[in-house]
Structures are given as C-alpha cells and as structure tokens.
Amino acid sequence: MQKKHGWSVFFTLPVLSWALYDFANTIFSSNMTTIFFPFYVQEIAGGDERLDQIASTFLSYANAVSSFFLVLFSPLFGVWIDQSGRKKRFVMAFAFAAIVLTALMGLIAPRNFGDFGGLPASFTFVVILFVAAKFFYQSSLIFYDAMLPDISTKDTMSVLSGFGVAVGYMGTLVGLTVYPLVSDGEYADAFLPTALLFFIFTMPMLFFYKETPGPVLEKRPFFSGYRDVWATFKDMKQYRPIFLFMIVYFFINDAIATAIAMMAVYAKAIVGFTSGEFILLYLVSTVSSIIGSFIFGYVTRAFGAKRAVFHVGIILFVALLLGTLAVNQPMFWVTGSLFGIALGAVWVTSRVFIIELSPEDKRGQFFGLFAFSGKLSAIVGPLMYGTITLVLADYGDIASRTALASLMLFVLIGLLVHRKIPA
C-alpha cells in the first residue's frame, strides 16, 4: 500500500467502508448487549432487590453461553482465513445472520405463547435468539479484525485501528436514535429498528470494499484449527510473548465483557439511574470511548502497544473500583467516563499488539487464538458474576457490588502478567 500522510490516510474507500462496519456492529453491541436487551431482561425477570439479582444472573448466563459457542468455533475461523485468503465473505455471512436473528427477537418478544417456568414463553425464545445473534456478531469480528493489515502499513496500522474504533463508537450515537421508538417499559421495541440500522451500515462494506485476497496457505483438514490451537500451546516457548499477552487479554477482557453486559442493570438497580438517565450516561461513556480510542491510537504509535495496554488496564481498574464503591450518581458518572476511555482504548491497543507479536504466516491462526482467549474469558466473567448475584441474591445490592468487585481481581492479575512480557 502506498504510504499516506496526515488525514488522507483515513479517507480512502477501503478504509471508510471497513470502518463503517465497526460503526454498524457497534450499534448491535450497544443496543443489544449493553442497553435494551438488559433492560428487557430486567423488565421481565426483575422487580425487587432480590429479583433484580436474579435478572442479573439470567443476563450473565446468556452472555456466557454465547461466548461458549464462540470458544468452540473460533479455532476454525483462523483456518478459514489462512486457507481462503479472504475475510469479507465471512464478515458478511455472520453479520447478516446476526441481523436476521435480532429482527426475530423484535418480532417474537411481544407475542403471547403462554408461560414457561413462571416467565413468558416468548422471553425464553428471545433469550435463545440473543445467544445466537451475539455469537454471529462476535464471530464476524474475528474476520473483521484480521482485515486491518490489508488496509494499512506498519506506520499507519495503530492509527487506523484507533480510527475504526472511534467510528464504531459513533455508531452508538446513531443506535440510540431508536430510544424514542421504545414505549414506556417496552424495551423489546428497540430490537427490530436495531436490526435495520445494523443492516444499513453494513452495506458499504458489501458494495464498496474490494478485497485483495491474501496468500492462500496449504489446504488442511477442516478441524485442524483445534489441532493448531493445541500445537501452538505446545510451542509456548517459541511464542512466549504472544502467550503471555493472551493471558493478559484473558483477564482484562473478562472484566471488560462482563462490565459491558451488566452496566445497564447495575446502574438502574444499584445506583438508582432511570432508563433515560442511563441513556445519557451511556452517551457520555460513548464520547469518552471515541476520544479514548482515537487518542490511544496515537499513544500506541508513540509509546508502543505494550505500554499502551498496561495503561488501559490501570484506567479499567480505577473505573471498576469507583463503580463498586459508588453510592450516588456523580460517582458513577466518573465511573462511566473512565470505563468508556478504557473500553475504546482496549480494542485499539490489543489488536495492534497481536499483529505486532504474530508471525505473518500465522496471523490468521493467532487472531483465532486471540478470539479464543478473549471469548473464553467472556464465559468465565459472566458465569462468575451471575453465580455471585444468584448465591447472594437474598442480600440485595451487596450481591451486585461483590460481583463487580470480583472483576478488579481479574484486571490486577492481567497487569501482573503483563509485566512479564518481554520488552
């Protein structure tokens, strides 16, 4: 790729259409994972201090199950990248699957199919559809992240990574335009419009991103991805820096993924935010994410991805500490802003670091392993959070505060392992 300088590096058709998919999938992430699906779960399964903890458990376990399936399949995705040399077709296939399933959530939620286990049967169907939709959404990101080297040079990679994440978080602002369509307490009204927005902003990549296929490697058996994961683990001495980073990412992503999923219910049930107040808080957090992702693109280029990742972990730890101790809304406003910075920056720094550490001929495999590490953590974190809220449900708010505090331990472990990564 010809080297470009200044702002011109952002305004090419491949870069803009690539970044707009970040815009599109962040609409799903914010609306479904963070805001309206959690509100819907609390609306149906919550109600008082004890039931709010049970709703947290429902939400946590749904996220954990989705991540479990991603752990099962992500090793195969790296093989597909290496053997086909293509990523766009897989991004599109998984994106459209997520879009259709999200639309079905909106169509089924208001239907009356009777009761199941004391809850509306439609609620059960919607939770299952959410698990599947989130799986396909997360799967598309493995191939999307692996496209970054195709549109960048070594000099522009970190900056374009930051640009993509910043554009993605701008998608949050567009996603929240569905809020006026939500009837009082009927949060499922947001599902169908979210699917439509996801579809619209996925179109630029479909029509305008012209993929240059990467090198096609030797054909291997379909399930060789699992063997590759095992073989790569056995080669730990040869690839020690990348394995240490996988451990770091496991613990930091554990805290990130769990906090994202539980933020809405925690803010409403524990800190006393209304739905409208949380939307405003989330807007502020999103602006912080945009700023954090863009700035950390330059921080990564100036100081290196390793140091940038460490500073992101420190910011995340402080945010979780403040959130655990928050006794009023102002404290949680600070929490939301710091968490937004960390959330935006972690994707920028991590995917650049994984590219820096990965051998070029194994990049697809390591992106699959990167996803494997992250998604394995996304099982552990929600399971732990949900189990704590379930076991301590009779103690009300203490259950959720204890669950959130447990995430600080994960960040601390990640920071300690980070210090062992060779400079």
pLDDT in tens, 23-82: 999 999 989 998 999 989 888 876 667 777 878 888 889 988 998 888 888 777 766 666
Q: What distances in angstroms separate CA 364 from CA 211, 222, 354, 370, one per listed residue?
A: 16, 15, 11, 10
- Residue 343: the pLDDT is 84
Name the average pLDDT for the chain: 83
Looking at residue 185, its amino acid is G
pLDDT over 50 at 2, yes or no: no
Q: Which of 36, 27, 53 is nearest to 279 (CA)?
A: 36
Q: What percentage of the chain carries pLDDT values higher than 70?
A: 86
- From 281-295, 323-337, 396-410, the region with the lowest mean pLDDT: 281-295
Find the mean pLDDT for residues 154-162.
Answer: 73
pTM above 0.85, yes or no: no
* Annotated domain spans of the chain: 13-209+222-418
- Residue 84: the pLDDT is 63
Q: Among 162-171, 286-295, 409-418, name the most confident range.
A: 409-418
Q: CATH 1.10.1740.10: does it fit domain 13-209+222-418?
A: no
Question: Among positive and negative, which fits the CA dihedral 167, 358, 246, 202?
Answer: positive
Q: 341-364: per-residue pLDDT in tens?
A: 998 888 778 878 877 877 777 666
Half-sphere exposure of 142 (CA within 13 A, CB side): 32
* Alpha helix segments (H runs only) across 268-359: 275-303, 305-325, 329-357
Alpha carbon of residue 125 to chain centroid: 23
CB 392 within 8 A of CB 53: yes
Q: What is the C-alpha to C-alpha distance for residues 162 and 168, in angstroms, rounded to an integer?
A: 10
